[in-house]
Amino acid sequence: MLGDKKIVFSGVQPSGNLTIGNYLGAIKNFSAFSDEYHCFYCVVDLHAITLRQVPAELRRRTYETLALYIACGLDPEKNTLFVQSHVPAHAELGWILDCYTMFGELSRMTQFKDKSAKNASNINAGLFTYPSLMAADILLYQTDLVPVGIDQKQHLELTRDVATRFNGIYGDVFTMPDGYIPQTGMKIMSLADPTSKMSKSDPNENAIVYILDDKDTVLRKFRRAVTDSETEVCRREGKDGINNLMTIYSCFTGKTDEEIVREFAGRGYGDFKLAVGEACADQLAPVREEFARLMADKAYLEDIMKKGAAEAASCALKTMRKVRKKIGFVN
């Protein structure tokens, strides 16, 4: 039972090893909503197949993403954790919303343009209509709040446009969702190219810090992080590498820019990079340990999947009954 609590929904793709960008920009913040909201957190495997996946790897990563949710602090007793494809209503509502989303709206999505450029041999229809499925994910649960990375803000705006259009035709069907973008960590940049977002698909291993990297690997990657030819640790335009490291350090320690500047006054970049790496590795260590424990207990993870899918499907069914009736489907 959802009771009087408002709804939070978010999802993470099981399409690669998750990075500290996924952790700081999304998963770490999810647990903050657990007491005040009813939270649905999904492993969005339907979204993952817009790119070709190796089936065995997709299955493994689905387990891993669920385990990471829990290892990062999401209590299955307080949150509904589930796999997207286990609730068929996502695909059904996704198709319905395809029919209420304009071609021009989808063609303006910057992520479609970016992903098409990177995957010129596989520009499929799913890649184009991805935002309609994302809208379905959100609207299916009458979501009030969506913790979202800044790169997904355009998709959330489209979700609101589609909900407004549908409600305008059929009455009050969907709740209008608001986005939540954390001020710190909303966009973690590459360590090798700090003008670009940290991406789990980056071919340069030194550009990415994964949640499951061991301490030595984390420290090595931060030591190699691209900075600039100066020595002062401070945030200003043109110091993209240092700005990014300050954001990461602030996220892991809670320190403000002013505190960071004072801490490293006169100490240089070497000390700063080591401190960022230490702070990152220390906070991720218990996550890695809990992840290993969970991955050794597949039966437990499958039990969470089943319970979560049942809870999600029950909530989704209420929305789908209303949608089917409004558009004229025979129940």
Q: Please confirm, yes or no, whether 197 is among the known catalytic residues.
A: yes
Q: What are phi and psi of 8, to 5 degrees?
A: -115, 135
The kind and range of the H/E element at 8 are: strand 6-12
Choose, from 28, 115, 239, 273, the residue flagged as catalytic.
115
Q: Please confirm, yes or no, whether 318 is among the known catalytic residues.
A: no
Please list, in sequence order, all residues whose beta carbon lies within 8 angstroms of the beta carbon of residue 318, skipping any fewer than 6 positions away: none
Choose, from 153, 187, 200, 215, the residue flagged as catalytic.
200
Q: Please confirm, yes or no, whether 200 is among the known catalytic residues.
A: yes
Q: What are phi and psi of 15, to 5 degrees?
A: -105, 15
For the chain, first and last CA: distance in Å? 24
Residue type, 120: A
Choose, from 5, 153, 187, 197, the residue flagged as catalytic.
197
Secondary structure letter of residue 180 according to DSSP: E
Inter-CA distances, 110 with 103, 105, 116, 160, Å: 14, 11, 10, 17
State the pairing for strand pair 145-147/79-83: unpaired
Compute the distance between CA of residue 177 and CA of residue 163 in angstroms, rounded to an integer.
9
- List residues with catalytic annotation: 115, 197, 200
